[in-house]
Amino acid sequence: MHEPRVTFRLVACILAIACTVNAWAQGPTPGASPPAQSTPSQVLFENVRVFDGKGSALSAPTNVLVRGNRIEKISATPIPTDATAGATIIHGGGRTLMPGLIDAHWHTTLVRPTPAQALSSDVGYTMLVAGAEATDTLMRGFTTVRDMGGPSFGLKRAIDEGLLPGPRIFPSGAILTVTGGHGDFRQMFEVPRIDGMPLTRMEELGAAKVTDSPDEVTRRAREQMMLGASQIKLTASGGVASPHSPIDVITFTPEELRAAVRVANDRGTYVAAHAYTPEAMQRAILAGVQCIEHGQLMDEATAKLMAEKGTWLSIQPFPDEFAHIFPPGSDQAKKMLEVMEGTNRAYELAKKYHLKTAWGSDILFSPDLAKRQGALLVGLSRWYTPAETLAMATGANGELLALSGDRSPYRGKLGVVEEGALADLLLVDGDPLKDIKLIEDPAKNFLVIMKDGRVFKNTMPK
């Protein structure tokens, strides 16, 4: 009975993508970010100093040869001309060559719209907005994002097929939540949920799925894997933005958590769990969750447990202005302040117990904050050196992505400059290990942006 409505929305989305393709085929409008250039199969970076995504210093003057979508050769001596015949040569002039940045907690389709817009807008329009944001993300130097909830599968495919510029996307698909949990944005008139009723708007769009039993968790997790998820995302505690979700509550039962872990592990990947409090974090970790998202309210016992289990901490250093994104005195504003007040302690524990730590921005519903994606990364310098900060957003985040195993949509190593790795590279006008704030102004300081061996930006001086 409801198939015509769903089909209409799918057709609308297809038409929207087709319009995007046609627009890029005709060329960008003045001031718009350019599509990928027609790049030869080889690019040689000469006289660059390399930050490899792991170390604490730049290399001596080095030459880096990219062939196809891989880094083929890194050499301190000139690379023989017979190996570089026909290559495009970029004279680095001693500038810094580093891996493309990775944002480990991004919401591809939920960055620009408000919650009300996301739920009420035409899906075709929503995808066009997300596509524009994806292009802007790439032009900020973020060549890869891990999408932590939302309907990003179609946009990912369009980017991978070259229909529009954007970062690599590791999609989670719909967030798995429980009734009244973080991610449950249903209206009061949509409750109670009765078996056999059609999906709610939130679920129909693929933003979140309500799962209230191990069997429901299993079904919905399998659906996301079928659609192409590289990992499963669920919300193990309350959250800040959701209207019906106190931050202190524990949501999924141990049996429900194990059901999600079983589905992910059976497919060679992992579960990432949104969790703030020690109780919620520990329950998720003991159920086999391999990555905790946020964790700002953790205690020492939880940090010890994470160290013992080798659990990843994907944490976000929210800036001060996050305290003002919700109405003053609202429950959301109070929850945000509580999270922000716990951030310093969480980073101290992460460093004390040498936790595997990833960085992400977690920008939702704010196109203005999205423009400051690099500045949010620079905020890590409160706890880490510039080299440690950049290593977290490149090599460490690449290690986290590797947990997807064979479910990774991209075959190859990410986040590093080494022979055989995928060629996602930035040429920086300066030394970000000495001046980390260079990352805050990508339009000026990122002279070359390469993803998958293709040059998407080249503003090197002639």
Tell how strand 232-235 and strand 291-294 pair up. unpaired
Question: In a 3-state reduction of DSSP, which class is residue 20?
Answer: helix
Strand partners, 62: 48
| pLDDT tier for residue 190 given thresholds of 50, 70 and 90 | confident
pLDDT for position 240: 87
* Residue 415, φ and ψ in degrees, nearest 5: 90, 5
| pLDDT tier for residue 8 given thresholds of 50, 70 and 90 | very low
Query: Would you list the domain boundaries of the chain?
Result: 42-100+415-458, 101-407
Tell how strand 425-428 and strand 356-359 pair up. unpaired
| Between residues 69 and 366, the one the model is more confident about | 69
- Write the pLDDT tens digit of every residue in 199-214: 888 888 889 999 999 9
User: 146: exposed, middle or buried (C-beta count within 10 Å: 0-12, 13-18, 19+)?
Assistant: buried
Q: What is the DSSP string of 196-214?
A: TPPPPHHHHHTSEEE--SH
Residue in 232, 263, 230 with CA at minimum distance from that of residue 153: 230
| Between residues 262 and 462, the one the model is more confident about | 262
Homologous superfamily of domain range 101-407: Metal-dependent hydrolases (3.20.20.140)
| Between residues 5 and 380, the one the model is more confident about | 380
- Write the pLDDT tens digit of every residue in 13-48: 434 444 443 344 333 333 334 445 445 589 999 999
pLDDT for position 172: 98
pLDDT for position 266: 98
* Residue 41, φ and ψ in degrees, nearest 5: -75, -10
Q: Look at residue 107 and tell me whether its pLDDT is greater than 50.
A: yes
- Write the pLDDT tens digit of every residue in 332-350: 888 888 888 999 999 999 9
208, 174 in Cβ contact below 8 A? Answer: yes
Work out the average pLDDT over 446-462.
96
| pLDDT tier for residue 398 given thresholds of 50, 70 and 90 | very high
| Between residues 430 and 10, the one the model is more confident about | 430
192, 182 in Cβ contact below 8 A? Answer: no
Taking each continuous run of H as one helix and of E as one strand, the counts in the chain are: 15, 18
| Between residues 196 and 316, the one the model is more confident about | 316
> By mean pLDDT, which of 337-346, 414-423, 443-452 is the weakest?
337-346
Under CATH, which number does the domain 42-100+415-458 receive? Answer: 2.30.40.10
pLDDT for position 34: 47
Q: What is the DSSP string of 221-282?
A: HHHHHHHT-SSEEEE-B--SS-TT--TT-B-S-HHHHHHHHHHHHHTT--EEEEE-SHHHHH
Residue in 176, 149, 151, 161 with CA at minimum distance from that of residue 227: 151
| pLDDT tier for residue 2 given thresholds of 50, 70 and 90 | very low
| Between residues 191 and 26, the one the model is more confident about | 191
Work out the average pLDDT over 127-142.
97
Q: Name the average pLDDT for the chain.
A: 90
pLDDT for position 200: 84
Looking at residue 394, what DSSP letter applies?
A: I
The Cβ of residue 368 has, within 10 Å, a number of other Cβ atoms equal to 9
Model-level pTM?
Answer: 0.90
| Between residues 3 and 419, the one the model is more confident about | 419
| pLDDT tier for residue 327 given thresholds of 50, 70 and 90 | confident
Distance CA 388, CA 56 (A): 7
160: CB partners within 8 A, 6+ apart: 168, 409
Work out the average pLDDT over 303-312.
98
